[in-house]
Amino acid sequence: MTLWKHCLAVVTLFAVLAGLSASALAQGVAQPAYVPAAGPDASPAAQPPLTPPPQPPAAPAMAPPPPPTTAPAEVPVTQAVVQWTLDVMRDGQQIDSFDGTTPVGQARTDTHNKVVSHNVGCKDQPAGSIDLSRTITVSPLQVRANLIILAIDAQETLENDVAPSTPEGCKLPPQPRQVNASHPGLIVPQGEWVTWPIIDQNPSLAYRVRATLAPPSAQ
């Protein structure tokens, strides 16, 4: 009898424990999932689309400038023809002259000869002679507006002003001098005379030069 009561008590204990476990499980299943409380919408308000700033008005298209007016064509340098004159001045007096009509880029050479003799010796008689030659080369280089540029080369034999003498007082012929001169670009205004000094004194020597464009009939 005592054993049976003891078994009944154990069975009753297990039944109570089982009931408690089932109740706990039922409460776990019945709990709803956590749902946050409803409130004002936390998402940021929708922004209106951005409007680009207004652009400045475009500048009106510039019309291309008119083409420059074409200046009247000048006579090409390679086709110009120059009339020139060169006077040889000794001690302020003209002793020789050269002239020519020469195209630009070309050259003209002329030689003038002058044979002279002197009375020499104690008897003052003619004796000996000398050729006073003079060679001039003129080349027009450019015609620029109203200016003409000439290259000039010159070689000449020149006598001194004073004739030497012997210790006895007898005359000797004047001593000749060789003169060489070159100008790379003498600027001559059209129709005007330009002086180019060669020797300052004993004797003085200079060339006077004048130049103009030749008329069409002379070209």
Least confident residue range of 11-25, 169-183, 193-207: 11-25
Residue 42 lies in a domain: no
Quote the number of domains for the chain: 1
Task: Report residue 164's pLDDT band, with 50, 70 and 90 as the boundaries.
Answer: confident
Q: What is the mean pLDDT of residues 178-205?
A: 96
Pick 35 or 89 by higher pLDDT: 89
Q: Give the pTM.
A: 0.62
Residue 19 lies in a domain: no
On average, the pLDDT of the chain sits at 77
Q: What is the mean pLDDT of residues 190-208?
A: 95
Residue 202 lies in a domain: yes
* Range(s) of the domain holding residue 127: 81-210
Residue 206 token pair: 């200079």
- The answer to whether 151 and 129 are in contact (CB under 8 A) is no
Q: What is the model's pLDDT at position 135?
A: 98
Residue 195 lies in a domain: yes
Q: What is the mean pLDDT of residues 151-170?
A: 88
With a cut of 80, say whether residue 45 has pLDDT above it.
Answer: no
Residue 187 lies in a domain: yes
Q: What is the model's pLDDT at position 18?
A: 52
Residue 107 lies in a domain: yes
Q: How far apart are CA 128 and CA 124, in angstroms?
A: 12
Q: How far apart are CA 77 and CA 106, in angstroms?
A: 12
With a cut of 90, say whether residue 2 has pLDDT above it.
Answer: no
Pick 83 or 38 by higher pLDDT: 83
Residue 64 lies in a domain: no
